[in-house]
């Protein structure tokens, strides 16, 4: 989190077996464990599953689409301008039609801020969003549609107004004092931790905060209004576990998105953080064995991967950055990032998966383009819908469990500050849709700048329809849903290619990452792949056989990998 408060051609080719594919690569790029990739070591691991704290069903969460919602901005059911659960419930059919199988809700608890990452009561629903009964209705209706729901569980810190902190500031002898981290200025100076280095998830260098009349400062990594909880204190840990189990068993949520997972302990005590998340998962699974836990670890893959010892999934920030890198022009590419080509992308992807597999073969790779803390994908690509479609092509044809941010499917725009990447969902023109949120006047995603969802919903050529097609295609393809990935080098600049392979299906994906038409000839393709029979999965039409227009994708699929 951030402290600022974040026609398609009908012929499908049947390919012959591609014996050149190395089995070791298949294992490396696997999404979930399957019978096609079991070896003796894997079978031994499965036999020991009850004894191995890292062993669980890596496919416990959907590999279909998960949709991130900021309730405040999504849909207003009572007419006060602020999104709520009554409004969100009315839009569940919209989400089901898009193909959503999971929902991630940004914080929903009582909080003094609009973003609600400074929680005041972990067992509450913010009054702006409705009542607990409203939430349970939303949850039950989502479940009826086959949609699972996870909520943001913000446990790195509480809000300054939380009763725990209000008790803690009453004095050093208060039983809640040790729910937080306190030190004198002398202690802080002695350990050299007065200030911290600004990072992508926290540009604020201040981490210790004074209170008038106190000789001790309290630790708050993100902001003084968000004091960090003290996980060296067992009573605090027990309290958090009790609250988590209550949401799982009494309320019925399907899991949690864990905010700021790498900051649980002060000064990046990574080994302690990894151990905590193992303990946290064990506690949550004791209450709900099929619980799903996905962590936000905003960092490079080598830092992210060890958290899979405890969490079922982590967000793949590296992949999102790499997809953007492939598609951004020189003016759009951030100064701190080096341009990569298609082969460097595949090498980077292999590196990410290697780090993950080095921790556990059982994981869910939570892939995404951008989220509530980042500039929206459409703005990162200067409003270019063709490139935005290509970004989606990559997201939905690569391995992983894809997440999208509300409004991404209609091309909503937004750049920092955070409020401007969390603007109201664009349902229709003013007055057109009674559930339109008006929590703030949009700067980027106006109904003139973004074609509203209600219009795109009925337009077969819309960005929304493109997302829906990709989701449906993924659901219908075992290879895309759960298959391994094997890179293919076509030796053509600008063409990215890879296989996705499951037990009974193999597909070859070819993406033109340039804005120019590229000729593809039969001799460029692997043995057994016929050029004149391909399925187009991009908006750009095929100019003629063998011509792949700029920012277009082809898929060659097979009914059997035998």
Which of left, alpha, beta for 17 (phi over 0: left; psi -120 to 50: alpha)? beta
Q: How many residues does the chain have?
A: 562
Interstrand relation of 535-536 and 553-558 (parallel, antiparallel or unpaired): antiparallel
Indicate the angle between helix axes 385-397 and 463-476, nearest 10 degrees.
10
Indicate the angle between helix axes 317-327 and 385-397, nearest 10 degrees.
140
Does 259 qualify as catalytic in the annotation? yes
Interstrand relation of 148-153 and 255-258 (parallel, antiparallel or unpaired): parallel
Cβ-proximal residues to 518 (8 Å cutoff; 6+ apart), any chain: 492, 494, 495, 512, 547, 548, 550
Partner residues linked to 507 by β-bridges? 500, 557
Q: What span, in angstroms and rounded, lies between the C-alpha atoms of 368 and 322? A: 11
Burial 419-457 (b: 16+ CB within 10 A, else e): bbbbbbbbbeeeeebebbbebbebebbebeebbbbbbbb
Q: What span, in angstroms and rounded, lies between the C-alpha atoms of 73 and 434? A: 14
Q: What span, in angstroms and rounded, lies between the C-alpha atoms of 334 and 372? A: 19
Cβ-proximal residues to 515 (8 Å cutoff; 6+ apart), any chain: 550, 551
Catalytic residue among 76, 101, 134, 296: 296
Q: What span, in angstroms and rounded, lies between the C-alpha atoms of 376 and 65? A: 18
Helix (H), strand (E) counts: the chain: 18, 18
Interstrand relation of 484-488 and 401-405 (parallel, antiparallel or unpaired): unpaired
Distance of CA 100 to the CA centre of its chain: 14
CA angle 530, 531, 532 (to 5 degrees): 100
- For 109, 185, 228, the CA distances from 167, given in Å and listed in that order, are 20, 22, 15
Catalytic residue among 84, 201, 259, 505: 259
Backbone angles phi and psi of 31, in degrees to 5: -85, -50
Cβ-proximal residues to 186 (8 Å cutoff; 6+ apart), any chain: none
Whether residue 285 is preceded by a cis peptide bond, meaning omega within 30 degrees of 0, is no
Contact 413, 382 (CB under 8 A): no
Please name which of 303, 396, 308 lies closest in space to residue 351, comparing C-alpha atoms.
303
Backbone angles phi and psi of 85, in degrees to 5: -75, -30
Does 544 qualify as catalytic in the annotation? no
Q: Which positions are catalytic? A: 259, 296
């Amino acid at each position: 989190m951030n402290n600022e408060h974040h026609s398609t051609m009908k012929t499908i080719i049947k390919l012959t077996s591609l014996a050149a594919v190395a089995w070791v690569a298949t294992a490396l790029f696997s999404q979930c464990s399957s019978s096609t990739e079991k070896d003796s070591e894997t079978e031994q691991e499965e036999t020991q599953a009850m004894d191995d704290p890292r062993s669980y069903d890596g496919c416990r969460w959907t590999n279909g689409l998960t949709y991130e919602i900021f309730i405040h901005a999504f849909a207003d059911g009572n007419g006060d301008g602020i999104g709520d659960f009554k409004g969100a419930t009315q839009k569940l059919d919209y989400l089901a039609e898009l193909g959503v199988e999971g929902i991630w809700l940004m914080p929903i608890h009582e909080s003094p801020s609009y973003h609600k990452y400074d929680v005041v009561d972990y067992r509450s629903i913010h009054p702006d969003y409705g009542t607990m009964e409203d939430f349970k209705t939303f949850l039950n209706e989502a479940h009826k549609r086959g949609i699972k729901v996870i909520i943001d569980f913000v446990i790195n810190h509480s809000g300054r107004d939380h009763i725990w902190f209000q008790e803690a500031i009453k004095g050093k002898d208060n039983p809640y004092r040790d729910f937080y981290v306190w030190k004198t200025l002398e202690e802080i100076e002695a350990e050299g931790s007065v200030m911290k280095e600004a990072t992508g998830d926290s540009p604020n260098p201040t981490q210790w905060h004074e209170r008038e009349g106190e000789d001790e400062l309290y630790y708050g990594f993100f902001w003084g209004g968000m004091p960090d909880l003290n996980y060296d204190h067992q009573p605090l840990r027990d309290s958090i576990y009790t609250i988590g189990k209550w949401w799982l068993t009494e309320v019925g949520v399907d899991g949690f998105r864990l905010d700021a997972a790498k900051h649980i302990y002060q000064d990046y005590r990574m080994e302690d953080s990894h151990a905590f998340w193992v303990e946290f998962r064990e506690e949550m699974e004791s209450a709900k064995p099929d619980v799903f836990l996905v962590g936000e670890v905003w960092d490079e893959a080598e830092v992210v991967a060890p958290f899979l010892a405890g969490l079922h999934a982590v967000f793949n920030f590296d992949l999102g950055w790499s997809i953007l890198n492939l598609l951004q022009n020189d003016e759009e590419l951030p100064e701190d990032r080096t341009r990569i080509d298609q082969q460097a992308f595949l090498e980077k992807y292999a590196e990410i998966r290697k780090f993950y597999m080095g921790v556990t073969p059982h994981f869910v790779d939570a892939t995404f383009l951008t989220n509530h803390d980042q500039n929206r994908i459409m703005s990162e690509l200067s409003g270019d819908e063709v490139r935005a479609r290509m970004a989606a092509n990559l997201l939905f044809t690569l391995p992983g469990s894809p997440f999208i941010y509300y409004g991404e499917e209609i091309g909503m725009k937004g750049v920092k500050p955070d409020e401007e990447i969390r603007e109201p969902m664009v349902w229709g023109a003013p007055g057109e849709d009674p559930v339109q949120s008006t929590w703030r006047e949009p700067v980027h995603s106006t109904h003139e700048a973004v074609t509203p969802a209600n219009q795109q919903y009925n337009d077969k050529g819309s960005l929304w329809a493109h997302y829906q097609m990709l989701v449906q295609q993924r659901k219908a393809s075992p290879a895309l849903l759960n298959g391994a990935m094997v890179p293919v080098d076509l030796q053509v600049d600008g063409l990215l290619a890879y296989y996705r392979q499951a037990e009974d299906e193999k597909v070859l994906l070819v993406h033109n990452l340039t804005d120019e038409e590229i000729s593809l000839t039969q001799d460029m393709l692997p043995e057994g792949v016929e050029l004149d029979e391909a399925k187009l999965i991009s908006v750009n039409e095929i100019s003629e056989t063998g011509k792949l227009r700029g920012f277009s994708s082809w898929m060659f699929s097979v009914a059997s990998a035998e």
